[in-house]
Structure 1
């Protein structure tokens, strides 16, 4: 049997990404933190780990893989994530009835915020 242990995000500025993703997901870093790698884990042990790897890499659009983050209050979460340094991404092919918004973290790694409010299909 396989399970997802960690999703790895490559980054240039490990400290900035650590601050963003711990606040965005309410995760905590496993100590000690290395100079070039940190594993973030959920505070309640629910969900996969997210690891940050200080290994600059070429940004490819559209990304081959991204995170879908489910939100009970999509508008509030988007506003909170923007206050942490994320930005909304305009995609002209996004359907008008889409339940997701595309965002990117401070280094341009894209993710979606999906409306998972009660009654929505997530």
Structure 2
């Protein structure tokens, strides 16, 4: 059996990325950060960890992997993420009826905010 334990994001400025991702995902530090690494976990304890790894790496576009963040209220979450420092990314090949908004964190790591208002998983999350 396998499960996702942690998603690793390469970062330049560890402190600012801790601030962005804890605010974006409502995560907390699992333990005090090291000089080049921080492990974030969901405040509720349920879900995968996010590891921030301050190791130089070349940015590749489009990224080979990215996060899809499900949003119950997509427009509100996009506004909130912009207030935290994220930016919306325009893509000429994005379908007109796309249910996602492409964004990037303050360092340019891309992710999508997916309109998941009807996702049945919300009931299990809100009950906890």
Bin for the TM-score computed over the shorter chain? over 0.9
After the TM superposition, which segments of 4 or more aligned residues of structure 1 sit over 4 Å from their partners? none
Shift, 1:119, TM fit = 7.1
RMSD, aligned CA: 1.2
Match of 2:78 in 1: 78
Match of 1:68 in 2: 68
Query: For residues 79-121 of structure 1, what are the alpha-carbon distances to aligned partners after superposition, in whole Å with 9 as ceiling and x for unaligned?
Result: 000000000000010000000000000000000000001279x
Paired positions, count: 120
Match of 2:3 in 1: 3
Match of 1:118 in 2: 118
Match of 1:104 in 2: 104
- Residue pairs, 1:48-67, within 5 angstroms: 48-67=48-67
Query: For residues 49-105 of structure 1, what are the alpha-carbon distances to aligned partners after superposition, in whole Å with 9 as ceiling and x for unaligned?
Result: 000000121000000000000000000000000000000000010000000000000
**Unaligned 5+ runs, structure 1:** none
**Unaligned 5+ runs, structure 2:** 121-128
CA distance in 1, matches of 2:12, 2:57: 8
Match of 2:123 in 1: none
Match of 1:13 in 2: 13
